[in-house]
Amino acid sequence: MVKSIIMAAGKGTRMKSDTPKVLHTIFEKTLLGYVLDAVNKTGLCDENFVIVGHQAERVEEYLKDNYPFAKPVLQSPQLGTGHAVSMAIPYLKDYTGEVIILNGDIPLITADSVKEFIEFHTSTGADLTVMSALFEEPGNLGRIVRNKDGSLDSIVEAKDANSEQKEIKEINAGVYCLNWEKIMPAFANLKTNNAQGEYYLTDIIKWANENGLKANVYTLKDKNEIYGINSKVELAEAARLLNSRTITKHLTNGVEIIDPATTWISPETEIGADTVIYPSCYINGKNKIGSHCKIGPFAHLRGGVILEDYVKIGNFVEVKKTTIKSHTNACHLTYLGDSEIGANVNVGAGTITANFNPLTREKSKTVIKDNVKIGSNSVIVAPVTIEEGANIGAVGVITKDVPAWALAITRSPLKVLENWVKRKLH
């Protein structure tokens, strides 16, 4: 098994935010969360060390709540990437396996690529492997310098590169796999004789070559996977790239998406074939949508949603933490939250499941059984159960359970005052 070290100590000044950079989100999932998930979904990693620094307490709290198995390791002061990795040495001093190192701000990295990278490293017998990518305009990215046999000679930071090195299009992706037992001594030999005056992680390559160790390069197939986030502009672009990847996957798998340009679907959402997603839908969080469903236009799924086959979620309908069985329709202007809804149910326009108590701040559950019909503009006040086949009259306010096949009506009787308008006009 492999250990991981994930760098999450940076301030992210260009984000211009009070939130630590790695805690910014795409589809309400943090950048750090994407990286941790990619590493752990390989099935090859059994321990994570997260290097924290700027607002360390907030990052540590996030890890405790969401990734309790990941160990935060404080870097203070922050003296560079090499110094950051060295903070994990006390926890790994007796470890003899492989260590993978990644930045915590690359949310597009996939488990498949991480796994392939680790397997490439071990299969080639390398002591150190660096992930690279090809860019037509590398800009300020570190350049990969290879030996004639294709092995890795060094990585040169853009600020330290000469004119010839700046022409190199292969760049350092910032992901490393190390034979920890052999490479660990390198961290005691790092120097700060560079433009930044920092301990560069890249200098371990020079040390490895000087000590007769094998350094190799793995070239990533999709350069977008190591797209790093340093600003809100880049955060928005990463979200677009992630959404585009997700949309393409669903289209390939038989989902019909009418307008990909206005449709946003989280990567953790599953969708069955022949489901149609209409324009301007936002599907967030982790959801499972069956086949032959119709979603939208202008629908919002907020996560924790399970839709069986042939469900319709129509325009301006919002759904959260709700399971809906097959052939049920909620077609217009409706909110369904914290609910279990059966099969062959029709939810009328303007219906709301009132699941939140503002006094206790508790959320309660609504249960609607099979074959229920709910009239327009109804409010279902949880906790409540509407049994099978019941009908709710329009403008109903349901505050207690409704028995099977009953009709529930809460509105006042209709009064008609004849000639009322004429009398008011004279």
Average pLDDT over residues 129-141: 93
Lowest mean pLDDT among 37-46, 195-204, 341-350, 404-413: 195-204
Query: What's 110-168 look like in SS3?
Result: CHHHHHHHHHHHHHCCCCEEEEEEECCCCCCCCEEEECCCCCEEEEECHHHCCHHHHCC
Q: What number of CA atoms fall less than 13 Å from residue 42's CA on the CB side?
A: 27
Do 395 and 411 contact (CB within 8 A), yes or no? yes
| DSSP code of residue 67 | -
Average pLDDT over residues 337-359: 96
pLDDT score recorded for residue 160: 83
Residue 391 inside a domain? The answer is: yes
Per-residue confidence (pLDDT) for residue 188, from 0 to 100: 92
Neighbour count for residue 151 (Cβ, 10 Å): 14
**Shared domain check, 165 and 20:** yes
The mean pLDDT value for 213-221 works out to 96
Q: Is pLDDT at 196 greater than 80 in this prediction? A: no
User: What is the pLDDT, as a whole number, of residue 191?
Assistant: 87
Q: What is the pLDDT of residue 291?
A: 98
Whether 153 is covered by a domain: the verdict is yes
The domain that contains 422 carries what CATH number? 2.160.10.10
pLDDT at 364: 95
CA distance 175 to 153: 16
Which of 209, 226, 243 is the last residue before a domain boundary?
226
Residues 218 and 364 in one domain: no
How confident is the model over 278-290, as a mean pLDDT? Answer: 98
My answer on whether 210 and 357 are in the same domain is: no
Is 206 domain-assigned? yes
Average predicted confidence (pLDDT) for the chain: 95
- Residue 174, both tokens: 């910032």
Q: Both 348 and 209 in a single domain?
A: no
Average pLDDT for residues 160-168, to the nearest whole number? 90
Q: What was the pLDDT predicted at 40?
A: 97
The helix/strand/coil state of 226 is helix
Q: Which helix (H) or strand (E) holds 177?
A: strand 170-179
Residue 173 has pLDDT above 90, yes or no: yes
Which of helix, strand or coil describes residue 426? coil
Quickly state the pLDDT bin for 289 (edges 50, 70, 90). Answer: very high
| pLDDT for the residue numbered 200 | 87
- Domain holding 414, by residue range, is 339-426
Residue 149 belongs to some domain of the structure: yes
* Domain co-membership, 9 together with 146: yes
Report the distance separating Cα 74 and Cα 339, nearest Å.
42
| Average confidence (pLDDT) over 146-164 | 89
Number of domains in the chain: 2
Residues 386, 345 contacting (CB under 8 angstroms): no
pLDDT given at position 369? 98
- What pTM was computed for the model? 0.93
pLDDT recorded at residue 382: 96
Q: What is the pLDDT of residues 73-126, one digit of tens each?
A: 999 988 999 999 999 999 999 999 999 999 999 999 999 999 999 999 999 999
Task: Give the catalytic positions in this structure.
Answer: 332
Domain boundary among 200, 226, 252: 226
Q: pLDDT band at 172, cuts 50/70/90? A: very high
Question: Are 204 and 351 in a shared domain?
Answer: no
d(C-alpha 140, C-alpha 120), whole Å: 27
The arithmetic mean of pLDDT across residues 8-31, rounded, is 95
Give percent of the chain above pLDDT 90: 88
Per-residue pLDDT tens digits for 293-307: 999 999 999 999 999
End-to-end CA distance of the chain: 90
- Boundary (domain end) residue, out of 226, 252, 280: 226
Q: With bands split at pLDDT 50, 70 and 90, how would you rate the model's confidence at 363?
A: very high
Task: For residue 60, give the CATH number of its domain.
Answer: 3.90.550.10
Does 193 score more than 80 pLDDT? no
In angstroms, rounded to a whole number, what is the distance separating the alpha carbons of residues 316 and 377? 14
Give the pLDDT confidence score for residue 53 in this predicted structure: 95
For residues 221-239, average pLDDT = 96
Residue 180 inside a domain? The answer is yes
Length of the chain: 426
Kindly state whether residue 187 falls inside one of the protein's structural domains: yes
Helix (H, G, I), strand (E, B) or coil at 337: strand
